[in-house]
Amino acid sequence: MEQIVLQLKDAKKRRLLLDLLAELDFVRVASVIRDGRKVTFANDLMEALMEAKADERGEKQLQRARDFLKHG
């Protein structure tokens, strides 16, 4: 499964987009985030998850939690 995060330029079009997505049997709308702080958090979380996956694939070397806590 893949996830796509969309940011709407015109909030008035939200209902139209959700109605369109509801017509597609291969799309499931998991959540709608309207609060700016939650959007920022969601973006940061997605970025962290992508970095963790890159670390698993060996594409990026992340700092170990133990080293981070020891040295900050």
pLDDT of residue 37: 80
- pLDDT tier for residue 11 given thresholds of 50, 70 and 90: confident
The pLDDT tens digits for 18-55 are 899 989 999 888 877 777 787 788 888 888 888 989 98
Give the pTM.
Answer: 0.47
Residue with the two structure tokens 């040295």: 71
pLDDT of residue 23: 92
- CA gap 54, 39 in Å, rounded: 23
Task: Tokens for 65, please give them.
Answer: 């939690």
Angle at CA of residue 68, ends 42 and 52, nearest 5°: 40
